[in-house]
Structure formats: structure tokens, C-alpha cells
A and B are shown apart, each in its own frame.
Chain A
Amino acid sequence: MIVGFASNLYKKYEGSAFEILADTLFSALDVAGLNKDEIDGLFLTVLPGTFDGYATLHFPTAQIAQYLGIKPKFTKVFDYGGASALSMIYHAYKAIKAGEGDTIACIVGGKASDLRGKGVTVDSVDKAYADVSITPFDRLFRGLNDLNPVSDYALVANRHKYLFGSTDEQRALIAVRQRFNAQNNDKAMFRDPLTVEQVLKSSIVAEPLRLLEIVYPIDGFHVFIVSKRSSKSNLRPIDVLAYGEAHWTVMPTELDDIIYTPAVQSAKDIFNLNKVDAFELYDSFTITVMLQVEDIGLAEKGKGGEFFEKHDTTYLGDIPINTGGGSLNTGQPAYMSGGVILEEALLQLNDMAKGHQVKDADTVFLNGIGGWNRAHSVSLVLGEEK
């Protein structure tokens, strides 16, 4: 039922986020063979500070519908950050199956350069705009110098090293494999071959995480059209084979330990991983990928590093992971990589991943992570219902 999709990614776009959004939507509708007046539902996500430099949009779905000139029957904002894109697809399928509408446009993205230009990260957005609430505990939490979310994942990586003996080399290997996959991906911004030594020599941003282990925030949108009208679309009829979501919205200091993500819960027993041809895992940082490999059940907790030593995770390998190079190589539109991994999954399933196609890819497992300090996880399995 995903009948169209498109993306437009820029290191820095000189212009409005509304322009990129509309252009991407029209490209996705072209693929679908539909027009904008057929859109019944509008699903989107926005992160503070990533829409034309505004801290927030007042009534975001209405503003976006106004610009597009559409009158949807229903609209919904998903605020799971990087996990939003995957959640939208599932909820769009459900809405269509329930007869609430025929066509739903799912939109993810924005302009990261607006925040990047202010020298802050997305979870330190309060340093760029006054009166943005980050947690219910701002009084006790702010006033601290961090560099969220880099610092958050750095704390996790250091604790993972301490508890399990995972190494900087093992994390570097994740970046190296993904770069191999990116070499022939025309969506990728970084395509030169990369070695473990080069990763380890790149400058430390937050110990132990180095520059080449961290996504580069960019401008751009991904749009996915979910519709039961597919006569003009050439895309394969892909279904949602399994789904799980989990929201661990506690303060990370109050978790049993910080080395678990909510993927432990969202991915629990949802699908037989042996039947999966490719994995698209959220890759904001190398450590994020290592954590998911453990939390979705590809490796035991603590053995994620060894997993990458044992398995070839390139698109040619025995367990292909982030087959297009992931957002570590395409850049991360508006600090949310969900669209990047979802688009790659659809390219794989439609045999459209030129230069990085997994042979006979019929089933793809995706996991999105997002929100403040890894609060949300969405697991999704896409394939043809047999």
C-alpha cells in the first residue's frame, strides 16, 4: 500500500522548508499516480527549531495543509523524533484498513541547518530559543553543560565499554561497513571508502564518540504515500508484516541501566529474524546501531561489538545492515533518520537500490529510535503478505 515515496536532501537549502516539503510531496504523488486533492490524511512530525528557524509552528498540520492547498479529512502529528516515520506508516495502514480514508501522506523532515547555524544540537534547542521546555524537571536538569544527544549516547557508549568490554574499534567497524554500503548510493553525501584507522583518527566530539561516528544534520524531507488506490503505481504491494512500539519516557537516570533502548520491548518476539533479508536500523551514532543489534535480538546484550566482527553486515554479506549506508552517510534531515531508513527499505523491496541491492530482498526489518534521550522505539517489518 506504499504507492509512492520521494526524498530531497540538501546539506544546506537556501529557501523555505515549505518549498522542500511541497516539492517532495509532489514527487511522491507522481510516483503514486495520485494528485494532492486525493489526500485524505496528513501525518507529519516536526522538531522544535527545524522549520524555517522557528522554535515551534502554531498548529503545524494546518500550516502545512494551507501551503499545500489540501483539505484532509484527518491530520496527526507524531512526536517520536526519529521513530516517527515508522509509526506513521503503520498507523496509515491501519487507518486505511479501517476505512477512514483511501490515501494518507506521511511527511518527515525539516531544516537542520537553521539550528546547526546557531551552534546548538537539537536536544540543546533551549540554548537557541528562550522558554523551550525540555523535561518536566528543567529547573534541576538545565544549567548543566551537555551536548545532547551526543553526550547522551557518549555516556551510553562509555558504560557499554565498561560493562561489556566493547571497543572503539568495534564501533568504528559499524561506520566502515556502512560507508562501504554508501559507496554506490546516489543519495549518500559521504561515499569515499573508509577504514577503521580513519574513524579512530577523526576528532573526538564526546568521548568515546568521534566525528565519523555521528550523523551530520541536514535539510530535507521524505514523503511516503500510503494508499489503497495503486493502479498507476509500479511499486510492489508491500504490507506491514509486524509492528511494535515502546515509549520509555522516564529520565535515563531512572532507568535500570542506560545501555538498553526501548527496542527491547518494541522488537520483542514480533518477527522471526531468520526470515529477514535486510535490517535498516536507526543510526544517529555508531553506538545506536550496536545497541539495536542487541536489543532487537540479533546479538545477546553486550555482544553487539563481537557481532560486527563475526558477521559481514554489508549489502553483500550474511546479515545486511543499513544497506544504503544509513544516515551516517546521507546526513540526517532535521535530526530525524526515520525517513532515511524507511526509504532504503522501500528501495530494497522494490529492487531499486542500484549499486547496493540485497539479492532477492523480500523482507526488511526496521527499527527507529528517537525523542529526547532514546525515549521511543518503533519496530516494523515490511514485505509482501504471502
Chain B
Amino acid sequence: MKLEEIYAKYDEIIRKDSSLPYIKCKDCNYTFFYARHFCPKCGSRNIEVLKSSGIGKVFSWTKIYRKGETWIYGIVELEEGFRVYCNFTDNVKIGDKVKVKIVRNDKYYSILASRV
């Protein structure tokens, strides 16, 4: 698979219902989100693009205070085993269960996680 094909599949999954795509290596089962056309663990090209349940746990978080504004930013570990950076819609603690949504804005994607 070429990188652009992977991104096309990502787009298809995201457009459908804001679900989070990810990649699984069919040889070593390593899962990852940040797209490459091979498995960064074992080097295999035998990979597939899948749709995550979007369910995960807060791995770490921070609440940022800037010019009168606040927002919450952090990392979620999905139940499929990979992690993503995201913005949280709620106050969270490490270990809290969350559901992740992803949307495309122009060129970039935004990932939001809410407590469930």
C-alpha cells in the first residue's frame, strides 16, 4: 500500500461516522495510528487499515491556560493497543474511559475524546 492509499482509506473511515482508523501489522500484530506504509516494529509491508472502536483510556492529560482560555490536551490509549494525541472535551484523570471521534478540517484532522 502506498501512503496516499492509506490516507484515502483513513478518509473513507473518518468521513463515514467520524470513526478512528488505525493500522495493524498482519505479521506481528503491532497496531499504530501515525500512518506509514510498513510496520515500524517489524518492517513488514503486510499491513491493513482498520476501524477502531474509539474506546480507550486516558494515558495522560494537561489543562492549558492561555490568554484567558483553557483547553485540555493529552493522549488516549485505545483498546486496540495504540495511542493518539487528542483534545479532551471534559475534565479527565489518567485511566478514565473515553470515546474518541476524529474529523477532517481542510488538510488536517482533529481528534476529540469525551468521557463515557
Contact = CB atoms under 8 A, between A and B. Distances in A.
Interface of A: 119, 135-147, 150-151, 154-156, 158-159, 162, 203-209, 250-254, 258
Interface in B86-108: 86-87, 94-95, 105, 107-108
Contacts of B29: none
B36 to A, nearest CB: 8
Given A137-B34, A253-B33, A144 B61 contact: no
Nearest to A148: B73
B65 A141 contact: no
Interface string B20-39: 00000000000011111000
Nearest to B110: A143
Contact of B75 (A135, A155, A204, A205): A155
Contacts of B75: 155, 252-253, 258
B73 A140 contact: no
Given A156-B60, A207-B62, A207-B63, A254 B83 contact: yes
Contacts of A258: 59-60, 75
B82 to A, nearest CB: 8
A152 to B, nearest CB: 9
Given A144-B111, A156-B60, A206-B64, A137 B40 contact: no
A137 B35 contact: yes
20 contacts: A136-B34, A138-B108, A141-B34, A141-B85, A145-B87, A146-B73, A151-B62, A158-B60, A158-B61, A162-B60, A204-B63, A205-B65, A206-B62, A206-B64, A206-B73, A207-B63, A253-B34, A254-B32, A254-B34, A258-B59
Main secondary structure of the interface of A (DSSP, over half): mixed
B64 A144 contact: no
A144 to B, nearest CB: 6
Given A206-B64, A254-B82, 10 more contacts: A140-B10, A145-B73, A145-B87, A147-B64, A147-B73, A155-B74, A158-B60, A206-B62, A206-B73, A254-B40
A171 to B, nearest CB: 14
A206 B110 contact: no
A135 B108 CA distance: 13
B34 A155 contact: no
A14 to B, nearest CB: 25
Contacts of B74: 155
Given A145-B71, A254-B83, A154 B62 contact: yes
A254 B87 CA distance: 18
A146 B85 contact: yes
